[in-house]
Amino acid sequence: MSMTSENEKHPLHPAPTATVIKGSRNLYLSCGAVYLGALNVGIALGFSSPLIKSIMDDTSISHIHLSDTDQSWIGSLVTLGAMVGGMFAGDLMHRGGRKFCAIFSSVPFVTGLLLISYAQNVGTICAGRVICGLATGVTSLIVPVYISEISPPQLRGLLGSGNQLAIVIGIFLSYLIGGALSWRWFALVSAIFPVMFGFCCLFVKESPRHLYFKNNQLEAVQALHWLRGEEADCSREIRDLEDNFRSGSTDEASWREMFMKKQYRTPLIFSILLMFFQQFSGVNAIMFYLETIFRSAGFTTDSQLHMASLLVSGVQIVSTLISCLIVDRLGRRSLLMFSSAAMCASLVAFSCYFHFTSDGSLSWLSLSAVMIDIVAFSFGLGPIPWFMVSELTSTRARSKCGSMATFFNYLCAFVVTKEFSDMEKGMTSSGVFGFFAAVCFLSFLFTLLQLPETKGKSLEEIEDLFKPGRGEYEELA
């Protein structure tokens, strides 16, 4: 084909001369802005433990009494709110755009935290937790979607894993701030972070893929050049966008298409399974036992237990950071298989601990199993499922698939945290952790046998894997 006809077909850019796209300052600053959203998610998820302890220790005239039921609901309501937020996040993201959705999600974060800070009764605290949960569900979807859509293939694993890194840093900050301040000041200071998030997102560009999908091609090209740097050659990337949207509809996939067409259904099933394996890997159950394990290991005072919680959060941060740095070299599948296998082994050890001892005589075994489990989760099953959902799904289906995956993730989180005690009574502690070990083994098999590798591939290339006649996965599901 001649150069003239090629330019006529793609009028917004010249023919490509380079294929390597590197990051720019604007790209990293944009990612940093939305990472503040993930930071808020981490603060919300880690908020209940220091909040409940501070309320129970409060002896002021305005103190609030908490029953065991109150404590349970304060801890779990954020996941219920996140389920609802996740259900509506996809439609909000599709209609208003990624940037608007990110700015919007900062409002309920601030509202919920202010309600908690000035609460005079348990009901107001619970309402604040639900509202924070709504924001958590929306932000949990928008951050990995936006990151995946603006990142070049060579950096998408690094920048996508940064979502989980920001979450665990948020959890660390919640323990740190919550242990240093009274619960009212804890909530008030925490409200600073969503304000920063909303403000910083005012200065980022909308996702070029979303703009293309909305037929704003010129604005999309301008946003892409802004993200890549003025001197970067974006022609190949723009060609991929044009070819992708020329070959398909610019309408959002319908619910019927999501379930009837294999090119949308297969990525949806993969996304749901990834979220199931993440939440039923047992990491939340392990965290439930942390205080008991550390007490048996000799951490007895409140200050020692608080330092132990910070230690665990610090281990999560370091492990997730290492995962960020190696995921684009080793690939998603390798880290997921390592994570699943290591967690399976640690959960088997934890199950044996409960089966063979009841007096804490094997505390070294439980402590070792906990640390291995947390490190392994941070390497794979923690960071990778969230951004792989955005990688696997096409632009037409990303909003609906993301909403369903987010809803299902927090539904599983609610079931595990709320029903864990009943599971223990019915299956014994040893049996429950044996069940979680079996789930991790299934995660390993699923990754080995079915999950595609997305390392180094553009989102358009990944989408082609599932297309009829061209896709490797057209016979699945």
pLDDT tops 80 at residue 21: no
Which of the residue ranges 128-132, 137-141, 174-178, 468-472 would you say has the lowest mean pLDDT?
468-472
Residue 6 pLDDT greater than 50, yes or no: no
User: What integer pLDDT is reported at residue 300 of this predicted model?
Assistant: 73
- Of the listed ranges 146-160, 188-202, 418-432, the least confidently predicted one is 418-432
Tokens 């595990």: give the residue. 416
Choose the most confident range, by mean pLDDT, from 13-22, 209-218, 355-364. 209-218
* Confidence (pLDDT) at 190: 96
pLDDT averaged over the chain? 85
Counting every residue written for the chain, the total comes to 477
The 10s digit of each residue's pLDDT in 420-454 is: 777 878 888 889 889 999 999 999 999 999 999 99
pLDDT digits 0-9 by tens, 35-70: 999 999 999 998 988 898 889 888 888 888 888 888
Confidence (pTM): 0.87
Mean local confidence (pLDDT), 271-289: 87
pLDDT of residue 8: 41
Distance, CA of 352 to CA of 228 (rounded, Å): 52
Cα–Cα dist 289/9, whole Å: 61
For range 387-412, the mean pLDDT: 90
CA distance 26 to 45: 29
Is the distance from CB of 20 to CB of 173 less than 8 angstroms? no
Single-letter code of the amino acid located at 14? P
CA dihedral of 96, 98, 100, 103, whole degrees rounded to 10:
150
What pLDDT score does 106 carry?
Answer: 95
* CA–CA gap between residue 358 and residue 205 (Å, rounded): 57
What's the pLDDT score for residue 361?
61
- The answer to whether residue 22 scores a pLDDT higher than 80 is no
CA distance 285 to 331: 28
| Mean pLDDT along residues 151-162 | 90
